[in-house]
Amino acid sequence: MDKITYRIKRFDGTREWFQEYTFPYEKNKTVLWGLIKIRDEQDPTLNFTSACRSAICGSCGVRVNGNAALACKTSLDELLEIYQTSTLTIEPLSNYRVIRDLVVDWEPKLERMKEVKPWLIASEEKDLSLGFIQSEEEFHKISNPTDCILCGCCVSECTQHSTNSQGFYEPFIFTKSYRFTIDSRDNAPSQHLTPSLEKGGLWKCVRCMQCVTKCPKGVRPADHISGLRKESMGLGHQQNKGARHAYAFYDDIRKTGRLNEMTLPLKTEGLTKTLSRRIPLALRLLRKGKLNPLHFPRPVQGIEGVRKIYRLVQKEERS
């Protein structure tokens, strides 16, 4: 291959269009190298952001062939190989307001992030002269979420955020919420957590794993969402559909080893909601034999061992 083409989505404040730029191929280059080359040699009006070129500042997130990537960290050779092409389509990150070309507006996201108070709220009673020392284990708990560089790649293809941007936090906000909720030096975990539960749609994550996949730093927002759910139940927030749904699985496995699909809606939504909303679906399934009201899973072989695992895990966690 001797030439590469970038098909770039342009926006001048009113008008949107795709513009193609072709330049000579060079080995071992990044997506950002191509953008800079275009701006330097072909079109000084092309707007994008970048600074460190070392995957640290988080300013160069763009969408390549529909997938968010950090331009300075993403190898052109790898992409050309993955997509078997010499033309890449480059767009601004999705789920952001676009300012110009590849430049997106961070202001509303950062404003929203403040809801989870992404800073330490230390205990006033602590003796400041001793400082706030953490054990190695305590540090490891926050180590992954602390790696977030706020590049925004996790938001771009987030499934729930794409359909429900107002009712669902950006994955990096959950990561911040989790990071401060579980920090051993913090004294107000619920102030970081409750907004995720009440405003952020904590239980609405569909577990598509786009955030974990797209993060260029190995941060795992989906795991942090799991962690926040666990913390929220620990703080007593168990009477919501998400928590009840999770407990339906937890209880069924202890009882028989397997899920009882018949009782799942009842356990998750309660009798009234199930009767008022699920009847058409249930009839549809009954008609096709997909729901068998007479099927009650019998305990699996070795269920005593399974129940023992529950008891031993609980004992281990208490110790």
Partner 1 sequence: MKYAFFPGCTLEGAAKEALTSTQKIAEALGIELVELEGWTCCGASHVQDIDDLLALSLNARNIALAEKLNLPLLTVCNTCTLMLRSAKQQLDQTPELKDKVNTILGQSGYTYSGSSEVTHLLWVLLKNYGLDNLKKKIKRPLTGLKVASFYGCHILRPPDIMGFENSLNPQSLEKLVEALGAENVAFEKRLDCCGFHAVFPAEQEVLKITGLDCLSAREAGAHCMVTPCPLCQMQLDMYQPDSQKQFKETLTIPVLHLSQLIGLALGLSPQDLGLGRHIVDTHPVLEKILK
Note whether 252 binds partner 1 by CB under 8 A: yes
CB within 8 Å of 133: residues ≥ 6 apart? none
Binding test (CB under 6 A) with ligand FES, winner from 26, 42, 51, 309 = 51
72 binds, among partner 1, ligand FES, none (CB under 5 to 8 A by kind): ligand FES
Site map (CB under 8 A) of partner 1, residues 94-133, x = contact = ----------------------------------------
Note whether 30 binds ligand FES by CB under 6 A: no
Binding test (CB under 6 A) with ligand FES, winner from 29, 37, 39, 53 = 53
Nearer to partner 1, 120 or 313 (CB): 313
User: Which element (helix H / strand E) includes 68?
Assistant: strand 67-70
> 130 in helix, strand or coil?
helix
Over the range 186-204, which residues count as b (16 or more CB within 10 Å of their CB) and which as e? beebebbbbbbbebbbbbb
Dihedral Cα 233, 238, 242, 247, nearest 10 deg: 90
C-alpha to C-alpha distance for 75 and 81, rounded to whole angstroms: 10
Nearer to partner 1, 103 or 259 (CB): 259
Note whether 258 binds partner 1 by CB under 8 A: yes
Give the interface segment with partner 1, choosing from 116-124, 145-153, 192-200, 263-271 (CB under 8 A).
263-271
In the chain, the amino acid numbered 14 is T
Distances (CA, A) of 231 to 151, 267, 302: 26, 21, 31
The footprint of partner 1 on residues 163-182 (CB under 8 A) is: 163-164, 167-168
Give the interface segment with partner 1, choosing from 52-60, 102-110, 136-144, 159-167 (CB under 8 A).
159-167
Among 242, 144, 161, 163, which Cα is nearest to 197's? Answer: 242
C-alpha to C-alpha distance for 245 and 259, rounded to whole angstroms: 11
- In the complex, which residues of this chain contact partner 1 (CB under 8 A)? 65, 67, 82-84, 159-160, 163-164, 167-168, 201, 203-210, 212-213, 220, 222, 226, 229-230, 233, 240-242, 245-247, 249-250, 252-253, 257-259, 261, 265, 268-269, 280-281, 284-285, 288-292, 295, 297, 300-306, 308-310, 312-313, 316-317
